[in-house]
Amino acid sequence: MTDQTHTIDIGWNFDNSYSELPDLMYTKQDPAPVRAPQIIAFNVPLAEALGLNIEALQSDEGAAVFAGNEIPPGALPLAQAYAGHQFGHFTMLGDGRAILLGEQITPQGKRVDIQLKGAGRTPYSRGGDGRAAIGPMLREYIISESMHALGIPTTRSLAVVATGQPVTRERDLPGAILTRVASSHLRVGTFQYARGAGTTEDLRILADYTLQRHYPDADRGTDGNRYLVLLQEVIKRQADLIAKWQLVGFVHGVMNTDNMTLSGESIDYGPCAFMDTFNPSTVFSSIDSQGRYAYSNQPYIAAWNLARLAEALLPLIHEDEDEAIKLAEDALASFTELYYNHWLAGMRAKLGIFHEEEQDEALIKSLLGMMQKHGADYTNTFRALTLNQPEIAALSGTTEFDSWYTQWQERLGRQEESETESRELMRSSNPAVIPRNHRVEEALEAAEQQGDFSVMERLLSVLANPYAYSPEQEEYAAVPPESPRPYRTYCGT
Ligand code: AMP
Ligand code: MG
Flag whether pLDDT at 475 surpasses 70: yes
Q: Are residues 81 and 215 in the same domain?
A: no
Give distance in angstroms: CA of 258 to centre of ligand 2. Answer: 5
Q: Are residues 178 and 254 in the same domain?
A: no
Q: Are residues 68 and 147 in the same domain?
A: yes
Q: Which of 319, 344, 369 is the last residue of a domain?
A: 344
**Which ligand has the shortest distance to the CA of 117?**
1
What does the pLDDT read at residue 222?
Answer: 58
Q: What are the residue numbers of the active site? A: 258
Separation between Cα atoms, residue 296 and residue 298, nearest integer Å: 6
**124-161: pLDDT as tens digits:** 999 999 999 999 999 999 999 999 999 999 999 999 99
Q: Are residues 133 and 207 in the same domain?
A: no
**396-446: pLDDT as tens digits:** 888 999 999 999 999 999 999 999 999 999 999 999 999 999 999 999 999
Q: Are residues 167 and 196 in the same domain?
A: no
Contacts of residue 82, Cβ cutoff 8 Å, sequence gap at least 6:
93, 94, 95, 187, 189, 190, 192, 193, 258
Give distance in angstroms: CA of 117 to centre of ligand 1. Answer: 10
Do the Cβ atoms of 101 and 128 come closer than 8 Å? no
Q: Are residues 258 and 194 in the same domain?
A: yes
User: Closest residue (by CA) to atom 23 of ligand 1?
Assistant: 96
Q: Are residues 213 and 318 in the same domain?
A: yes
Flag whether pLDDT at 488 surpasses 90: no
Give distance in angstroms: CA of 259 to centre of ligand 2. Answer: 5
Helix (H) or strand (E) segment spanning residue 168: strand 156-168
Our mutation pick for probing the ligand 1 site, out of 125, 140, 261, counting the most ligand atoms within 8 A of Cβ, is 125
Ligand 1 interacting residues, C-beta cut-off 6 A:
93-98, 124-125, 128-131, 254, 258-259, 268, 270, 491, 493
* Number of domains within the chain: 2
User: Closest residue (by CA) to atom 13 of ligand 1?
Assistant: 96
Q: Are residues 64 and 168 in the same domain?
A: yes
Separation between Cα atoms, residue 345 and residue 338, nearest integer Å: 11
Range of the domain at 48: 14-182
Our mutation pick for probing the ligand 1 site, out of 29, 170, 187, 493, counting the most ligand atoms within 8 A of Cβ, is 493
In a domain, 146, yes or no: yes
Q: Are residues 167 and 21 in the same domain?
A: yes
**82-121: pLDDT as tens digits:** 999 999 999 999 999 999 999 999 999 999 999 999 999 9
Residue 375 to residues 248, 287, 368: CA-CA distances in angstroms? Answer: 16, 25, 10
pLDDT-based confidence at 489, cuts 50/70/90? Answer: confident
Q: Are residues 29 and 147 in the same domain?
A: yes
Q: Which of 344, 377, 397 is the last residue of a domain?
A: 344
**377-405: pLDDT as tens digits:** 999 999 999 999 988 777 888 899 999 99
Contacts of residue 271, Cβ cutoff 8 Å, sequence gap at least 6:
253, 254, 284, 285, 286, 287, 288, 488, 489, 490, 491, 492
